[in-house]
Amino acid sequence: MVLVLKDLCVDFTGMRGKVRALNNVSLSIEKGEVLGVVGESGSGKSVTALSILGLLGSNANISNGEISYSGQNLLTLGPKEMQSLRGKKIGMVFQEPMTALHPTMKVGNQLAEVIKRHRSVSKRQACKLAIEALKEVHIHDPELVAKKYPFELSGGMRQRIVIALAMSAPPDLLIADEPTTALDVTIQKEILQLIKELNDRRGTSVLLITHDLGVVSNVCDRVMVMYAGEVVEEGITEAVLNAPSHPYTEALLHALPDLADPGEPLKAIPGEVPDLQNRPAGCAFASRCPKAMDICGVSAPALELVSTNRSAACWLRRDTH
Ligand SMILES: Nc1ncnc2c1ncn2[C@@H]1O[C@H](COP(=O)(O)OP(=O)(O)OP(=O)(O)O)[C@@H](O)[C@H]1O
């Protein structure tokens, strides 16, 4: 396994007190696998990514669990070791490409600098490799683009460059948090295609965070559905999307206007996400669940295997209810 999270709990301390943002989150990603993470806003997708990257803020505390990357326990690493792992072994792509780019440095130089840092090559070689890296992310006329500053390029071009930077080490795992949300629909498709292509060609594992089930269906081998900081369903994409086991996954699918149109945002699901500060007893989705039973408001179901390669946290899937 490239990445394993086991029973991860993350708490934030704020003005209103403590909030549990992740509650016993477990996941695993094999070599070459693309895992999609979906869920409404506030479900804990970004906190999961930031926990892996060691980029949680100082008001966050990992109160339980394990994060293991290629068998190495990341929670025992210091900030310097984590910094060297990021970029080198774990690449990152976020929603807004400008946050990852140096605004006053030509993109070719940025790439060459990162390549030089990760591989023992001369400056001249690094510049050559930077052009190759731009070609690999399908930038036409890479020699010309290398001489440009980020502000001279479109959003889609910038995100291609961020992907080239993220892949330059090259990493074993790419974490992409809503990488296309800020882009036009046609560009979104191209960027996702590019991520999938790099995954196919290089065997890089990918953790892809998205709001969009259409994206999951096109790109991801497995999907993990999060709700209120917990994993409610996980399994092979096709199986989960064709026949969801958890009513929340079902609701997400019903909220999607057209699976064939991955650009469409999700429609709202009736009811409200629970206040994480006052996490309800029982299943967090119970108050919005059309199939809720008495037990759902009392006791929280654990995430358990419900069929081959599929887990769900739902009392409906148990024989014991
Ligand atoms: N820096 C922070 N300080 C305090 N609480 C935080 C912080 N970051 C996240 N949280 C809490 O964690 C919850 C999960 O946030 P997260 O950003 O992971 O959601 P998300 O699923 O990525 O949502 P979105 O799709 O909107 O990005 C939030 O609702 C909030 O309560």
Q: What is the pLDDT of residues 179-210, one digit of tens each?
A: 998 898 889 999 999 999 999 999 999 999 99
Q: What is the pLDDT of residues 250-279, one digit of tens each?
A: 999 988 766 555 566 556 788 888 888 888
Name the token pair of 174: 């790419």
Q: What is the atom index within ligand 1 of the atom nearest the CA of 44?
A: 18
Please indicate, yes or no, whether residues 68 and 147 belong to a single structural domain of this protein.
no
> What is the identity of the amino acid at 146?
A
| Cα-to-centroid distance, 276 and ligand 1 (Å) | 10
Nearest alpha carbon, ligand 1 atom 12: 21
Position 15 confidence tier, pLDDT thresholds 50, 70, 90: confident
Q: How far apart are CA 196 and CA 206, in angstroms?
A: 9
Please indicate, yes or no, whether residues 177 and 287 belong to a single structural domain of this protein.
yes
For residue 236, the domain's CATH number is: 3.40.50.300
Of the residues 168, 187, 214, the one at which a domain ends: 168
Please indicate, yes or no, whether residues 275 and 180 belong to a single structural domain of this protein.
yes
CA-nearest of 320, 212, 196 to 267 is 212
- Could you give the strand order of the β-sheet that contains 60-69, starting from the edge strand earlier in sequence? 17-29, 3-14, 60-69, 72-73
User: Which residue in this structure is represented by tokens 């994480």?
Assistant: 276
Q: What is the pLDDT of residues 72-126, one digit of tens each?
A: 999 999 999 999 999 899 999 999 999 999 999 999 999 999 999 888 899 999 9
Give yes or no for a contact between 246 and 225, defined as CB atoms under 8 angstroms apart.
yes
| Cα-to-centroid distance, 178 and ligand 1 (Å) | 14
Name the token pair of 275: 């206040």
> For residue 21, how far is the Cα from the chain centroid?
16
The per-residue b/e assignment along 192-222, b for 16 or more CB within 10 angstroms, e otherwise, is bebbbebbeeeebbbbbbbbbbbbbbbbbbb
Q: What is the pLDDT of residues 111-164, one digit of tens each?
A: 999 999 888 899 999 999 999 999 999 999 999 999 999 999 999 999 999 999
CA-nearest of 212, 246, 243 to 231 is 246
Structural domain range at position 36 = 3-89+173-317
Nearest alpha carbon, ligand 1 atom 6: 12
Q: What is the atom index within ligand 1 of the atom nearest the CA of 14?
A: 4
The complex scores an ipTM of: 0.97
Give 210's DSSP letter: -
Please indicate, yes or no, whether residues 113 and 9 belong to a single structural domain of this protein.
no
Residue 257: the pLDDT is 64
Please indicate, yes or no, whether residues 46 and 112 belong to a single structural domain of this protein.
no
Residue 321: the pLDDT is 46
Q: How far apart are CA 144 and CA 227, in angstroms?
A: 45
Q: What is the atom index within ligand 1 of the atom nearest the CA of 276?
A: 31
Please indicate, yes or no, whether residues 259 and 123 belong to a single structural domain of this protein.
no
Q: Mutation test of ligand 1: which of 45, 224, 252, 269 has the most ligand atoms closer than 8 Å to its C-beta?
A: 45
pTM: 0.94
Of the residues 135, 168, 201, the one at which a domain ends: 168
Please indicate, yes or no, whether residues 212 and 300 belong to a single structural domain of this protein.
yes
Nearest alpha carbon, ligand 1 atom 19: 42
Please indicate, yes or no, whether residues 298 and 181 belong to a single structural domain of this protein.
yes
| Cα-to-centroid distance, 267 and ligand 1 (Å) | 20
Domain count, the chain: 2
| Cα-to-centroid distance, 175 and ligand 1 (Å) | 17
Between strands 222-227 and 34-38, the pairing is parallel
Q: How far apart are CA 129 and CA 132, in angstroms?
A: 5
Residues with CB under 6 A from ligand 1: 12, 14, 19, 21, 39, 41-47, 57, 59, 211, 276
